[in-house]
Structure 1
Amino acid sequence: MMFPLKRLLIGRPLKSTELGEQKLNKTKALAILSSDALSSVAYGPEQILIVLITISAAAFWYSIPIAIGVLILLTALILSYRQIIFAYPHGGGAYVVSKNNLGVNSGLIAGGSLLVDYILTVAVSVSAGTDAITSAFPALHSHNVMIAIIFVIFLTILNLRGVTESASILAYPVYLFVLALFILIGVGLWNIATGTVPPELHTPIGTPVAGISLFLLLKAFASGSSALTGVEAISNAIPNFKDPAPKNAAKTLTFMGGLLAILLSGIVFLSYYYGVVPSVEVTVVSQIAEETFGRNFMYFFIQGTTALILILAANTGYTAFPLLAVNLAKDKFIPRMFTIRGDRLGYSNGIIFLAISSIFLIIIFKGQTEHLIPLYAVGVFIPFTLSQTGMVVKWVREKPKGWVGKLIINALGAIICLVVTLMFFITKFTQVWSVLIFVPVIMFVFQRIKNHYEAVGDQLRITEDNHAVPIEGNVIIVPVAGITRVVENSLNYAKSLNANQIIAVYISFERDEEKKFEEKWNKWQPDIRLVTLHSQYRSIIQPLTKFVDIVQHKASEANYGVTVVIPQFLPKKGWQNILHNQSSLLIRAFLLYRRDVMITTVPFHLKK
């Protein structure tokens, strides 16, 4: 049943030779890799206003210069990540840049932060999209968590079907969102130009506001910079582009930066001019759309596409997380299972892990976006800062042609990103303090995994000094529970191995059973030695493992190997297994980790 369901949901397996067909052109790549950055237009301006409203609505005019500062940072990031794309064309982004230029620990901080950030990308995006839906339909507000989880499951299935298939579907909502916002901004600006919007809704730019401070402005700037999350995703996903991949990735990044700048500027200006006040129940974009169009088709079109882009922004995480995980796994910092491609040539283990983790976060935070955004933003600005700093070190060390200009761009980006990061810690410490715990924990886990892989490699590597000693003989132990065809089948197999000795082991719970069984055995298999062990506490495992240890110790002195042949019968129907005690599985599980003991299971299939 599971196999047909898997084929229905995911599709037929793809051949490895079809990998080239899974590469993205610029149009599709923009849709799935820019959706996170573009979607942040829906909540980035709102974050600025939430800070400014603590003074008064009169302070909203400061959102204009703050937005200009965010655009300067955006420009620095776009120019910087273009340089990263060409300097590191195989992907990896901030992780690779930081590791190569600042050291392994810096790389692990960047990589670990981004892994967590992509999990947060899914949780934040889906939660924000759900908020947009419940803004239009307040009756659904109490079902936020369940709606968000359903969307995560949908996106997971879509991404398991492959990169190109998910991109083909997701491109339409993304471009519809861009179209909707262009219409909203265009009509809004027209209404302003024609005097339809009353000028008294907002305070004039430059109006003195009591209580405003540089600290508050920096706090608002840091909050507004959350609109830049996702900018780095393209540099991580270069391998997903069609050739020439670096050029296509760089063009896509530039186009995304231009779109983000236009949409962000438009929404910030409209929210200022309309005098929109942030609300828990209704988003800023929803209020602008309602003021511009009223509650008609265009309003619901904008709300619908906004909800879609916010939800589908999670797809940036689905695209970038598995590729970043591959880079970390290749360096042996996370399990190698993340390097394995699934049936549809995507890194399905990374996709599934991402989905489970994000659902966990949605449940823990109850789908409340405002609690996730600060943690989400600081998680991406740490890698921003490290990658910019790493590129500064690279230019100073290598000094290629035109390196001074590149150095200035990266140094400016590094300074601004550092300021934003510090402001998040200073102003939102109660919401982002967990970063100070999970980053060291992740680094510790990374190093333990790395140490394990290195230890395994050292022990498995063949050298002149560690050749395996040839085994000169073999002792076979066969645990038996009775005189049956299953046991007979296992004994015949054991005899075929030409062992030096075969020992059948019977564990009894009653003394009378031992004598009766020994008599039956001697008549049935007189050539096979039988050892009976009495278990006072009715345990099979304890006496058997103790006996195996004794035999193994004596056998090692003669350079003999010890093999435990385990009889096991398999019912015809899978559900029938629960009707049996599965002693063979328990024995195998306990003996599997015994040193220098080989384990062989001899199955006997029942036919009815």
Structure 2
Amino acid sequence: MVAAIKRFLIGRPLKSNMLGEQKLNKTKALAILSSDALSSVAYGPEQILIVLITVSAVAFWYSLPIALCVLFLLSALILSYRQIIFAYPHGGGAYVVSKENLGVNPGLIAGGSLLVDYILTVAVSVSAGTDAITSAFPALHEHNVGIAVFFVIFLTLLNLRGVTESASILAYPVYLFVLALLVLIGVGIYHIATGAVSPDLHASIGTPVAGLSLFLLLRAFASGSSALTGVEAISNAIPNFKAPAPVNAAKTLTVMGGLLAVLFSGIVYLAYYYGIVPHAEMTVVSQIAEETFGRNWMYFFVQGTTALILILAANTGYSAFPLLAVNLATDKFIPRMFTVRGDRLGYSNGIIILGFASIFLIVLFGGHTEQLIPLYAVGVFIPFTLSQTGMMVKWLREKPKGWQTKFAINMIGSLICFIVTIIFFLTKFAQVWSVLVFLPIIIFIFHQIRSHYKEVADQLRIAAAASAVPVEGNVMIIPVSGITQVVQTSIDYARSLSVDQIIAVYIAFDRAEEKRFEAKWKEWHPDIRLVTLHSPYRSILHPLIKFLDTVEHKANELHYRVTVVIPQFIPKKGWHNILHNQSGTFIRTMLLYRRNLIVVTVPYHLKK
């Protein structure tokens, strides 16, 4: 039943040699890896206006020079990440670059930041997409959380089906969004050029604005820079590209940068010229579309594709998070389970954990994750800064041909990203201070996990093992609850081994019951020693443990090995387990933590 449901939701398992078929071409990769960056067009310009409106709508003309600064930063990042792609063709992005060139801890800061950021990518993107839907259909506003959780579950299942299958489905909404916004921008500019939009709706460029400070402009720039989240995803996901992977990844990154620049600048310009004022019930893109087309089918097309890409932007997290987790797990900083491929050849454990963490954030914040956007953005700019600085160190150390130009590009990128990070902390400290708390905690956890793996490896290494004390004999203890076929099977198993003594242990809750069982046992198996333990407090485990302590003490003196054989019947149907007490399972679980004891379960499978 479970297997059938799993196959229906996820699909049939794929053979390992089909991994090459799960690689992405440039068209699909652009859709699946650029959706986060492209979707930020829907909220990046709005974030600038939200800051400027605190002074007055007259200050909106400053959105144009701020947008130019954001585009300059975008250009520096695209050039920088192209160099990272060719320098590190096996992926890993900021984590690998920082770890190899700056050291382990800078690498962990970059990796930890990005892991958290990809979780925020899913939560913020899905919540923003849900907001776009409820902007068009206000009656759904009270169901934001439920809608968002549904979309996260849908995306999780889609990604569990495999990279190429999810890319095939997600490519259409992404390209429809790009088409919708290009049409919106084109028609909007046409209306402006033909005089259909009144110039009185906005303040002229250069209009003095009272109360505007450099601090506020920097805050608006930092808010607008949130549109650049997701730029690094392609450098993390190079292994997902078809060969030649680095060349295809670099071309995809360049196209993504060009599209992002056009869409971002177009929306900023239209919002300024139309005099759009952001408010909670209707997004900036929704207002621009309504001003341009009215509430006709084209408006709903723009809103529908915007909602879709905002939701599907979460897929960038699903593509990049598992691959980053693989790099960290390979270096033993997070659990090894993240390196295991699922039935559909994707890293399913990473996908599932990402889905659960995102749902947790959505529920925790009630679907209103806009306050996470600054945290989301600063979580990207810290790795941006570290990766660019790491590349500077790499060029200085290796000095390849033309390294001066490469160094200059990364230096500019590093400097700008560092400035943006500082601006975030200065202007939005109340929203991003938690980074200073959770990053040290995450790095501490990373080191603890790695220390655990190292300690385990040291203890399991044969060369380091202490000389074993020779075993002189074997004693088997069989806890019994009655005279049954299950107990008989366990006795037969114990007899089949070369053991010196078999002891059955029965725990009685009253003296009369104890006597009756001893009499029955003597008739049934007089050759097997029976020890009965009285339990006045109806505990099975406590008297058994005390008895095992005594046996182990004597066995250690004689250099005997002690094995506890636990009889356990297995019902034919899984749900039948709830009809029986699980004392065997409980005993086994508790005894496994005893150092010098071997625990064996002898299953007896019921036929009905």
TM bin (shorter chain): over 0.9
- Counterpart of 1:188, as a letter, is G
- Cα deviation, 1:555-590, whole Å, max 9, x if unaligned, reads 223222111111111223322221211111111011
Q: Do the aligned partners of residues 150 and 391 (structure 1) sit closer, same or farther apart at CA in structure 2, a change above 3 Å counting?
A: same
Which residue in 1 is equivalent to 2:141? 141
The total of aligned residue pairs comes to 608
CA distance in 2, matches of 1:19, 1:417: 36
Which residue in 1 is equivalent to 2:377? 377
- Quote the offset at 1:469 in angstroms: 4.2
Which residue in 1 is equivalent to 2:123? 123
- Quote the offset at 1:185 in angstroms: 0.6
CA distance in 1, matches of 2:13, 2:472: 46
- Please say if residues 562 and 597 of structure 1, whose CA atoms lie closer than 8 Å, have aligned partners that are also in contact: yes
CA distance in 2, matches of 1:62, 1:543: 79
CA distance in 1, matches of 2:297, 2:531: 84
Which residue in 2 is equivalent to 1:393? 393
Which residue in 2 is equivalent to 1:107? 107
Which residue in 1 is equivalent to 2:77? 77
Which residue in 1 is equivalent to 2:2? 2
1:301 counterpart SS class? helix
1:600 counterpart SS class? strand
- Cα deviation, 1:29-56, whole Å, max 9, x if unaligned, reads 0000000000000000000000111111
Task: Note if 1:487 corresponds to 2:493.
Answer: no
- Quote the offset at 1:111 in angstroms: 0.4
CA distance in 2, matches of 1:560, 1:393: 60
2:531 counterpart SS class? strand
1:34 counterpart SS class? helix
Which residue in 2 is equivalent to 1:506? 506
CA distance in 2, matches of 1:362, 1:90: 33
- Counterpart of 1:56, as a letter, is S
Which residue in 1 is equivalent to 2:333? 333
Task: Note if 1:528 corresponds to 2:537.
Answer: no
Please, what is the CA RMSD of the aligned residues? 1.1
Q: Do the aligned partners of residues 22 and 467 (structure 1) sit closer, same or farther apart at CA in structure 2, a change above 3 Å counting?
A: farther
- Quote the offset at 1:470 in angstroms: 4.4
Which residue in 1 is equivalent to 2:172? 172
Please give the TM-score of this superposition, normalised by the length of structure 1. 0.99
- Cα deviation, 1:320-351, whole Å, max 9, x if unaligned, reads 00000000000001000000000000000000
2:462 counterpart SS class? coil
Which residue in 1 is equivalent to 2:261? 261
| Structure 2, gaps ≥5 residues long | none
CA distance in 2, matches of 1:484, 1:164: 55
- Please say if residues 318 and 351 of structure 1, whose CA atoms lie closer than 8 Å, have aligned partners that are also in contact: yes
CA distance in 2, matches of 1:31, 1:469: 62
Which residue in 2 is equivalent to 1:421? 421
- Cα deviation, 1:348-385, whole Å, max 9, x if unaligned, reads 00000000000000011111132121111111111111
- Cα deviation, 1:282-334, whole Å, max 9, x if unaligned, reads 10101111111111111100000000000000000000000000000000010
1:603 counterpart SS class? strand
- Counterpart of 2:601, as a letter, is T
Equivalent positions of 1:178-189 (< 5 A) are 178-189=178-189
Q: Please, which moves more after superposition, 466-475 or 60-69?
A: 466-475
- Please say if residues 124 and 373 of structure 2, whose CA atoms lie closer than 8 Å, have aligned partners that are also in contact: yes
Q: Please, which moves more after superposition, 210-219 or 226-235?
A: 210-219
Equivalent positions of 1:560-571 (< 5 A) are 560-571=560-571
- Quote the offset at 1:209 in angstroms: 1.0
Task: Note if 1:273 corresponds to 2:273.
Answer: yes
Q: Please, which moves more after superposition, 263-272 or 429-438?
A: 429-438
CA distance in 2, matches of 1:359, 1:316: 16
- Please say if residues 130 and 148 of structure 1, whose CA atoms lie closer than 8 Å, have aligned partners that are also in contact: yes
- Quote the offset at 1:70 in angstroms: 0.4
Q: Do the aligned partners of residues 322 and 464 (structure 1) sit closer, same or farther apart at CA in structure 2, a change above 3 Å counting?
A: closer
Which residue in 1 is equivalent to 2:402? 402
- Counterpart of 1:315, as a letter, is N
- Quote the offset at 1:468 in angstroms: 4.0
Task: Note if 1:97 corresponds to 2:71.
Answer: no
- Please say if residues 23 and 163 of structure 1, whose CA atoms lie closer than 8 Å, have aligned partners that are also in contact: yes
Which residue in 2 is equivalent to 1:312? 312
1:372 counterpart SS class? helix
Q: Please, which moves more after superposition, 401-410 or 117-126?
A: 401-410
- Please say if residues 459 and 465 of structure 2, whose CA atoms lie closer than 8 Å, have aligned partners that are also in contact: no
Task: Note if 1:450 corresponds to 2:456.
Answer: no
- Please say if residues 218 and 427 of structure 2, whose CA atoms lie closer than 8 Å, have aligned partners that are also in contact: no
- Quote the offset at 1:545 in angstroms: 1.6
Q: Please, which moves more after superposition, 457-466 or 439-448?
A: 457-466
- Counterpart of 2:72, as a letter, is I
Q: Please, which moves more after superposition, 238-247 or 392-401?
A: 392-401
CA distance in 1, matches of 2:512, 2:198: 101
CA distance in 2, matches of 1:400, 1:255: 27
Q: Do the aligned partners of residues 465 and 136 (structure 1) sit closer, same or farther apart at CA in structure 2, a change above 3 Å counting?
A: closer
2:24 counterpart SS class? coil
- Counterpart of 2:563, as a letter, is T
2:517 counterpart SS class? helix
- Please say if residues 329 and 336 of structure 1, whose CA atoms lie closer than 8 Å, have aligned partners that are also in contact: yes
Equivalent positions of 1:276-287 (< 5 A) are 276-287=276-287
1:206 counterpart SS class? coil
| Structure 1, gaps ≥5 residues long | none
Please give the TM-score of this superposition, normalised by the length of structure 2. 0.99
CA distance in 2, matches of 1:498, 1:414: 69
2:108 counterpart SS class? helix
- Quote the offset at 1:464 in angstroms: 6.2
- Please say if residues 365 and 371 of structure 1, whose CA atoms lie closer than 8 Å, have aligned partners that are also in contact: no
Which residue in 1 is equivalent to 2:34? 34
- Quote the offset at 1:467 in angstroms: 4.9
- Please say if residues 458 and 464 of structure 2, whose CA atoms lie closer than 8 Å, have aligned partners that are also in contact: no
CA distance in 2, matches of 1:557, 1:111: 52
CA distance in 2, matches of 1:50, 1:465: 64
- Quote the offset at 1:495 in angstroms: 0.7
- Please say if residues 123 and 359 of structure 1, whose CA atoms lie closer than 8 Å, have aligned partners that are also in contact: yes
